[in-house]
Copies of this chain bind each other. A is one copy, B any other.
Amino acid sequence: MDRIMLAHGSGGRLSHELILNLFQKHLGNAYLNQMNDAVLLPGLEQIAVSTDSFVVSPLFFRGGNIGKLAVCGTVNDLAVSGAIPKFITLALILEEGLPIEELEQIIKSVSETAVEAGVLVVCGDTKVVERGSADRIFINTTGIGYVTDRLVEPKRIQPGDEIIITGTIGDHGIAILSEREGLEFQTPVLSDCAPLNKLIDTFYLPGVKCMRDPTRGGVATTLNELAQQAGVGMLLKEELLPLLPSVESACEMLGLDPLYLANEGKALVIVAPEVADEVLLKMQSHPLGQNATRIGIVQEGKSGLVLLETFLGGKRIVGMLEGEHLPRIC
């Protein structure tokens, strides 16, 4: 394999290989190698930074658009890292011919979402490429936040901890897919795209061990990363996975596993068992956490392995995403 394939952008195994074999090889340093969603800056311990480019297709979908997504994605990476998002930069790559009305709608969404999340857009950049050299608009946002005393990192995860998700899974993936394929469901699926920082402010307690937003690669890939980094096993229960009925039927119809679908407004939260009830109650008191629920536990042994106990009582391994599931989901 000597060329970039779509799966290199999946967030799954090939993405990880590219990071290890290329980026860490040439650029590796203690900060980059943490491979966390956001990084604390050396010498500036009070600052956290995260960067993300957005290439979602289509640009507009039920529940959001690329502008809203570009703010949420970066805000959420900072927030799940325990930081308070404060500032974002906004860099646009535009294709010649993009209707300015569409651009304006997108920028309005950036503005509204920034207000909702309480972040300020502090600088920007615009490049334009010839027709055919990009697909309408790509957006990069880089976020800067204040570091808090919230200790959330994979190495704090221990056997016995509980795995909580702040709401239904797979909504964003199905919303994009149905838009793209022109699928119609009785109840249309909206993307869950939302800034999570205020929800996290609501439920955070010192017993929260680690948080992640399961975007590309979904819950399965994110939990595999955490299990590997923490050196623990995880056991999920299929019957506990919160799914909208329309997402469930879409997955059945299309043969998709919701554990691999992207979420853009959900956090996976690993908590000490003694605070799980309190954290859940607080989550459920916030509009973005109403459907928060336990989905599994952290186990001794089986280091790095994520298992799913199915409806039938059997167990199967839930690996990291292989290949490309849905390109350009974010």
- Do the beta carbons of B5 and A99 come within 8 Å of each other? no
Given A51-B142, A93-B138: A124 touches B32 (CB 8 Å cut-off): yes
Q: Looking across the interface, which residue of chain B has its beta carbon closest to that of A8?
A: B128
Alpha-carbon distance A26/B71, docked complex (angstroms) = 14
Contact pattern, A 1-35, Cβ under 8 Å of B = 1, otherwise 0? 11111111110000100110011001101011000
Taking CB atoms, residues of chain B closer than 8 Å to A9 are: 94, 126-129
- Do the beta carbons of B51 and A4 come within 8 Å of each other? no
Stretch at the interface among A104-112, A167-175, A277-285: A104-112
Taking the complex as formed, is A39 at the interface, i.e. its CB lies under 8 A from any CB of chain B? Answer: yes
Alpha-carbon distance A29/B89, docked complex (angstroms) = 13
Distance between A161 CB and nearest chain B CB, rounded to angstroms: 26
Taking the complex as formed, is A98 at the interface, i.e. its CB lies under 8 A from any CB of chain B? Answer: yes
Taking the complex as formed, is A229 at the interface, i.e. its CB lies under 8 A from any CB of chain B? Answer: no
Alpha-carbon distance A114/B29, docked complex (angstroms) = 12
Taking the complex as formed, is A328 at the interface, i.e. its CB lies under 8 A from any CB of chain B? Answer: yes
Alpha-carbon distance A10/B94, docked complex (angstroms) = 12
- Do the beta carbons of A103 and B51 come within 8 Å of each other? no
Contact pattern, A 144-162, Cβ under 8 Å of B = 1, otherwise 0? 1000000000000000000
Distance between A29 CB and nearest chain B CB, rounded to angstroms: 6
Taking CB atoms, residues of chain B closer than 8 Å to A96 are: 3-6
- Do the beta carbons of B94 and A51 come within 8 Å of each other? no
- Do the beta carbons of B138 and A134 come within 8 Å of each other? yes
Alpha-carbon distance A54/B57, docked complex (angstroms) = 21
Taking the complex as formed, is A49 at the interface, i.e. its CB lies under 8 A from any CB of chain B? Answer: yes
Taking CB atoms, residues of chain B closer than 8 Å to A47 are: 44, 47, 144
Alpha-carbon distance A90/B26, docked complex (angstroms) = 13
Q: Looking across the interface, which residue of chain B has its beta carbon closest to that of A42?
A: B120
Task: Name the one of B29, B49, B98, B120 contacting A4, with C-beta atoms under 8 angstroms.
Answer: B98
Taking CB atoms, residues of chain B closer than 8 Å to A186 are: none
Task: Name the one of B27, B29, B91, B99 contacting A2, with C-beta atoms under 8 angstroms.
Answer: B99
Given A2-B101, A9-B94: A22 touches B52 (CB 8 Å cut-off): no
Taking CB atoms, residues of chain B closer than 8 Å to A95 are: 4
Given A120-B42, A124-B32, A128-B5: A51 touches B144 (CB 8 Å cut-off): no
Task: Name the one of B43, B122, B133 contacting A49, with C-beta atoms under 8 angstroms.
Answer: B122
Taking CB atoms, residues of chain B closer than 8 Å to A44 are: 47, 86, 144
- Do the beta carbons of A108 and B51 come within 8 Å of each other? no
Taking the complex as formed, is A327 at the interface, i.e. its CB lies under 8 A from any CB of chain B? Answer: yes
Taking CB atoms, residues of chain B closer than 8 Å to A328 are: 127, 129-130, 133
Alpha-carbon distance A9/B128, docked complex (angstroms) = 5
